[in-house]
Chain A
Amino acid sequence: MPYTQGSFEGLPDAARQRLTEMRGGAGKKGLFTSDLSVNEFLLCQEANFDPVGLVMGSSIYHIGFQMQKFYQNQELEVLTQAMYEARELAMTRMEEEADLLGADGIVGVRLEVNRYEWGAAMAEFMAIGTAIKHRGGGSYRTLDNRPFTSDLSGQDFWTLLKAGYQPLALVMGTCVYHVAHQGVMQSMKQTGKNVEMPNYTQALYDARELALSRMQAEAEREGAVGIVGAQVRENSHGWDSHVIEYFAVGTAVKPIEGVQAVPEPTMTISLNG
């Protein structure tokens, strides 16, 4: 489900009504919710952003099946596609909620995947964050007019802005990969020796590279100059021991036009240990 401006597909009616009411008016007092800590809340305020609501998107997804070649390294495209599509569904719904709140962006985004013992091929994908709005009405939305998204904490968000950059989008790249099993002859040849295991090395390299290049391509499409806080996580999601997911995620950023000098940091000695 790609993001469409003005669409609220997938959101329950009750969510639409509640989010509209949170903005205040029609006899109801506005009220914001946020999972920001007190320090994060105060730093967002200091940076001229007000939290407007805790937003969430979720999707329970049936992950398809793909045959694997036992002795071959290969990407499992059906599974990669599932991981992409389900995360995209959750992200899009979270962005739609932020739209309903009139937000400029979402900070502290967490992407979670829960697998349940009872649903072998199913997974619940969740995206959660706090929608924020700029007090001065500055333009912080992305090229295609989506609210910006970022997995940065309130502290990192404040520091990023002070450094003269603004977040654009939470970018991600994923690759589900089958690592080939060793042949009997190869295993016998290696017995008792120190040797590199080239098929394993190559598989991990390939999978990580595919995930990173996809994340980078997403950032380039957003018009970013770089990605901060990039991480590559290795997940297994309960699949076969030779099937792994490499998931690269980070916040794409661009410089804020006409920004001042970066404030000089003060050196401090902490009293805590």
Chain B
Amino acid sequence: MANFWVGSVSASELLALKHIGVEPVGQVYGVSVKGLATSYFPVVTSEVVGEVEGFSQMLSECMFLINAQADQVGANGVLDCKVDYDVDLELIDIGYLKYTLQITGTAVQDRDSKCEHRYFATMSPCELIAMRKAGYEPCGLAIGNCTYFQVAWRQQPKLGPFGTWANEEIKELTQGPYTAREIAMERLMNMARNVGGTGIVGVQLETEVSPSGSLVLGTMAAFCRMFLYGTAIRSNPFPSSQVSVMTTVPIGRD
């Protein structure tokens, strides 16, 4: 059966896409599930390299699968990408966690794309139209990830008046998610630069701090996970027209 496709685009999006010469050609999907041992030295603050390398492999596998599907339908773009990264913390006690990375999207044949390679974007079809009209185009997914093990050398909370515990910031532990974000952000930006982006829009940030037993008495320790993704964009060399913005009042109730 020729030209049969399945996509998550709505009827109005389909109409808008046709108007700018973009044809949906199918739903594409990549998934990778791994079991990774969280190897770390529990008294040293450092990046959990095994987990980060594992993520990197999962990302490559996911992209390979989704690209293979996009090849089959002859797509040069994938819109509406959803990136879902999940770490199953239930298994943390035995030091072996289940990691799942999934990427889904709607493959399209984009007649006017100026991108040298197949682009992946988290934006919806209507957002693509607005972007293009404003003189920008998506050039790829940007993803950054880091797991950082932070140890805080801390004996006891400070005493307040009348022997109660006082308010205080736990400075060393604060540095954990901060550092994780820094490393993840650097990776996100490098990935955007590699696909020729000049900026990233719609960055989604998922953060998690989960405790870990530390071997040294009087210390606290935590795994700080940071996962970021967004769409790298750049100026389109051939802007079509200016976006007009107007204040509107919809008639009817939401």
Contacts and interface: CB of A to CB of B under 8 A. Distances in A.
Given A18-B185, A64-B165, A81-B167, A38 B251 contact: no
Interface string B194-238: 000111111111010111000000001000000000100000000
Contact of B252 (A10, A35, A89, A270): A270
Contacts of A12: 175, 178-179, 182
Contacts of B210: 116, 118
Interface of A: 10-12, 14-15, 18, 22, 29-39, 41-43, 45-46, 51, 54, 56, 58-67, 78, 81-82, 85-86, 89, 114, 116, 118-119, 121-122, 124, 126, 128, 158-159, 162, 263-272
Interface magnitude class on chain B: 35 or more
B203 A38 contact: no
B157 A121 contact: yes
Contacts of A265: 246-249
Interface of B: 12, 123, 127-128, 130-131, 134, 157, 160, 162, 164-170, 173-179, 181-183, 185-186, 188-189, 192-193, 197-205, 207, 209-211, 220, 230, 243, 245-252
Given A64-B166, A121-B157, A271-B12, A43 B245 contact: yes
- Per DSSP, chain A at the interface is mixed
Contact of A35 (B186, B193, B205): B205
Nearest to B129: A38
B9 to A, nearest CB: 14
Given A35-B205, A58-B174, A29 B193 contact: yes
- Candidate in A29, A37, A42, A82 with the most chain B CB atoms within 10 angstroms: A42
Nearest to B123: A38
B203 A33 contact: yes
B160 A64 contact: yes
